[in-house]
Amino acid sequence: MEIGDLTIKDIASRVKRNEISANEVAKFYIEQIHMKDPLINAFLYVDEDGVIKRAKELDNLKNKKGLLFGVPIAIKDNMNVKGLQATAGSKILRGYIAPYDATVVQKIKDEGGIIIGKTNLDEFAMGSSTENSAFFPTRNPLNVEYVPGGSSGGSASAVSAGLSKAGLGSDTGGSVRQPAAFCGVVGMKPTYGRVSRYGLIAFGSSLDVIGPLTKTVEDSAVMLNVIAGFDAKDETTAKVEKEDFTDSLGKEIRGLKVGVIKEIADFNVQSEIMQSLKVSYSKLEQLGAEIIEVSLPHLKYALPTYYIVAPSEASANLARFDGVRYGLEGEGENIKEFYEDSRTKGFGSEVKRRILIGTFALSAGYYDAYYVKAAKVRRAIEGDFESAFSKVSSIILPTTPTTPFKFGEKKSPLDMYMSDIFTIPVSLAGLPAISVPIGKDNKGFRVGIQLIAKWFDEATLLRVAYALENY
């Protein structure tokens, strides 16, 4: 079997048993990157020397242990890896070298993982196609004329093309799940608070969650085992019992209640996606699950709510990039001109749009009309999910309303925002969700089907996802 076909567990156990060396694995992936990345552009930076050095160190260890021993992992470039650049896809952070490791990166290193490189993204994770990257767009490895999705398009395409065994992305409104769907891989957004955000460049702090992109549900569970857990450096992480998320894989789903959403009929969904959704319903039924209709009456308000909450938080988070504390240095006669020039030159147009929207929504006189109202609607959406989850233990929805689109196809920001109508409600509620490839469209792209579970019930989420994946 080729190295590229092995699972995370296979690679780690073979390297630990000295059946293959970490060096061989690392060289294999670097060669894949040399061959394929010039066309795909998944990576902003590949640390070749660091990768080989690290692999050799692992090979020389007497006591070889760790869930990711010798496994290459690609990291979205909005997370800190000590000594490597962290640009968040923005000119304003060009040249910035992270002085410390994000908690997730530290955990990957502690388990013997190899950070293979930093992947491309929409600037500050704002976007759904990687077209907003300040550097270059990433291409979809399944067909390079199409976008890979975003904002974690780099990590998703790297995993899909076999340039890394797994990747990390960040998901604020869909940025792990949507690119996973577009690139035909598995993408999970854990429950808000399950994974530390320490060392992640913040976008919307009440929404941001780091999650894995992998080829399989099992790999996703292993990655969650590595990155989950309370972190004193992130006050929003929850103190929950440590569990092994691979335990529930392969367990029967007979008798489990899966919710299908009544309101799906109100949305414009590509017919092949509806087809895959129906196929998924029947697969689950054949496996003994019970399909129950549930209602999320506020679903249609999720997009406008998100586009108040997320930009508001972003406008506050991005205030620190002023050319002094961080970021590209502008010019000016006085401090105001200096800030203005730094931010004008450093930020791209989508980021500026969000900062303007957020600043407006939070300003005196408009705060109640916009931000407070959005916070109330967010609560109503959460309430919809609470009542649905009193009847079912998971919910099934498409990940996206369409399969991948071409570069430049989405002309208006709103068209682009619509890509996330089914992922955003889940983010507003802070629930765990996963996108699994099921079926195909007529161009050969996979369709992403999204499963959602109760807060902190990733075990059930992965159990149902595994059953669907392996049917």
Q: Is 421 in the site for ligand GLN (CB under 6 A)?
A: no
Out of 261, 310, 374, 461, name the contact with ligand GLN by CB under 6 A.
310
Strands across the sheet with 394-398, in order? 43-46, 114-119, 72-76, 166-171, 209-214, 186-189, 433-440, 446-453, 394-398, 257-261, 290-294
175 assigned to active site: yes
Choice among 64, 76, 107, 215 that is catalytic = 76
Out of 171, 313, 322, 457, name the contact with ligand GLN by CB under 6 A.
171
Q: Is 430 in the site for ligand GLN (CB under 6 A)?
A: no
Of 174 and 398, which CB lies nearer to ligand GLN in the complex structure?
174
Residue appearing with tokens 């919809």: 384
Q: Is 174 in the site for ligand GLN (CB under 6 A)?
A: yes
Peptide bond into 151 cis (omega under 30): yes
Q: Is 348 in the site for ligand GLN (CB under 6 A)?
A: no
Q: Are 241 and 276 in contact (CB under 8 A)?
A: no
91 assigned to active site: no
Distance, CA of 229 to CA of 273 (rounded, Å):
35
Q: Is 192 in the site for ligand GLN (CB under 6 A)?
A: no
Q: Output the smallest distance, CB 151 to ligand GLN, in A.
A: 5
Strands 433-440, 446-453: pairing kind: antiparallel
Distance, CA of 447 to CA of 393 (rounded, Å):
23
Query: Which window, 165-173, 290-298, 324-332, 460-468, contacts ligand GLN (CB under 6 A)?
Result: 165-173
Distance, CA of 461 to CA of 466 (rounded, Å):
9
Per-residue binding string, ligand GLN, 121-160, x by CB under 6 A, is: ----xxxx----------------------x---------
Distance, CA of 448 to CA of 155 (rounded, Å):
16
Of 207 and 467, which CB lies nearer to ligand GLN in the complex structure?
207
152 assigned to active site: no
* Residue list 214-273, contact with ligand GLN (CB under 6 A): none
Q: Output the smallest distance, CB 309 to ligand GLN, in A.
A: 10
Distance, CA of 369 to CA of 362 (rounded, Å):
9
Could you give the C-alpha distances from 362 to 319, 355, 424, in angstroms and in order? 13, 11, 21
Choice among 90, 129, 133, 151 that is catalytic = 151
- Catalogue the active-site residues: 76, 151, 175
Residues making contact with ligand GLN (CB under 6 A):
125-128, 151, 171-175, 203, 310, 420
